């Protein structure tokens, strides 16, 4: 029976890997760094909103970029193949 108990634990670990947390760094134009820890499956809108609130900026006035590509609010770290310690760049929207 102990073997049966071990098999589900291995399955649980695999499930845990897909929802594990990831540390991301958000870097502004002023090179100010803000660190966030979120789940790989969490939409990045949560991170973007939190960054804007901390910086006193409007989400509409900023653009978030990862590997040179614009980050959409519905994207997740998993979708973008982000790894622990990756950086998201923030640029001021120019009109």
Strands (E), the chain: 21-27, 33-39, 62-66, 69-70, 87-92
pTM for this model (two decimals): 0.77
Residue 15, pLDDT score: 46
Q: Is the pLDDT of residue 5 over 60?
A: no
Residue 19, pLDDT score: 55
- pLDDT per residue as tens digits for the range 6-63: 444 444 444 445 559 999 999 999 999 999 999 999 999 999 999 999 999 999 999 9
Beta-strand relationship, 21-27 and 87-92: parallel
Collapsed DSSP state (helix, strand, coil) of residue 65: strand
């Amino acid at each position: 029976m102990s073997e049966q108990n071990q098999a589900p634990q291995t399955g649980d670990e695999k499930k845990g890997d897909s929802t594990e947390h990831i540390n991301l760094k958000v870097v502004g134009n002023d090179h100010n760094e803000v660190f966030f820890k979120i789940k790989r499956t969490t939409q990045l809108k949560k991170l973007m909103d939190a960054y804007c609130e901390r910086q006193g900026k409007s989400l509409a006035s900023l653009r978030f970029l990862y590997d040179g590509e614009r980050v959409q609010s519905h994207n997740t770290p998993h979708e973008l193949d982000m790894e622990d310690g990756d950086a998201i760049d923030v640029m001021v929207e120019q009109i």
